[in-house]
């Protein structure tokens, strides 16, 4: 059975979704860069080991990433899962976990990388927004895409209502992505493309607003 280590910085609602998804793998540990992260208590309630590697204890990003790598590797993970981990990782850290480091982002990448994705989508007047699970590369929020979910942007949406709609889909697609990975149903090939094994795809079109 494959091992997963989850990294968080706060409450970790996506972490909780993974803990409750009954994945075909072992969640070996939840690690946070903040000792006061609420998600640590949630992980403990699920019987999962926890650890803290505080970025404030290190002089620079590189030394923090080295310490974090040691903490992660103690659990011998097959995959490292970012679930609201609010630290930009160094290229060396990303390279160490190439093809094993996964993130979820609240937009339909490659659109709206970075922060404030929902506010930016509303400002631009897009009609479809969503979320993306992807492999992490040194190019922030531009790694190979595993799965995406799209939601309509409604005329009366606020940043909060749109964020809630997207978050609901995040909690659906992150467990799905990890289920595929744990079962060996997808892989990252040498050219950096996500390959699906024995999966059929549909060609349905999504319209927002709908056609009449």
Task: Supply 206's token pair.
Answer: 């999504």
Collapse the DSSP code of 166 into the 3-class scheme (helix H, G, I; strand E, B; otherwise coil) and give the result.
helix
Q: How far is 152 from 127, CA to CA, in rounded Å?
A: 6
Looking at 46, 55, 96, 105, which residue is catalytic? Answer: 105
User: Is 171 in the active site?
Assistant: no
Task: Supply 186's token pair.
Answer: 């997808």
Q: What is the DSSP letter of 144?
A: P
DSSP letters for 48-85: -EEEE--GGGSSSHHHHHHHHHHHHHTT--SEEEESS-
Which residues participate in catalysis according to the annotation?
105
């Amino acid at each position: 059975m494959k091992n997963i280590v989850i990294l968080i910085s706060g409450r970790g609602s996506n972490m909780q979704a993974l803990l409750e998804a009954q994945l075909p793998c072992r969640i070996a540990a939840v690690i946070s860069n903040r000792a006061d992260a609420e998600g640590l208590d949630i992980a403990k309630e699920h019987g999962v080991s926890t650890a803290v590697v505080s970025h404030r204890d290190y002089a620079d990003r590189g030394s923090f990433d080295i310490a974090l790598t040691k903490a992660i590797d103690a659990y011998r993970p097959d995959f490292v899962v970012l679930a609201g981990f609010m630290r930009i990782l160094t290229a060396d850290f990303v390279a160490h976990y190439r093809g094993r480091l996964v993130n979820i982002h609240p937009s339909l990448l490659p659109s709206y990388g970075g922060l404030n994705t929902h506010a930016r989508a509303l400002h631009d007047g897009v009609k479809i927004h969503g979320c993306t699970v992807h492999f992490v590369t040194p190019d922030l929020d531009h790694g190979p895409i595993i799965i995406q979910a799209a939601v309509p942007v409604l005329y009366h949406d606020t940043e909060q209502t749109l964020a809630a709609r997207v978050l609901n889909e995040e909690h659906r697609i992150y467990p799905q992505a990890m289920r595929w990975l744990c079962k060996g149903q997808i892989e990252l090939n040498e050219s950096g493309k996500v390959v699906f094994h024995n999966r059929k795809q549909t060609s349905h079109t999504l319209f927002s607003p709908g056609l009449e």
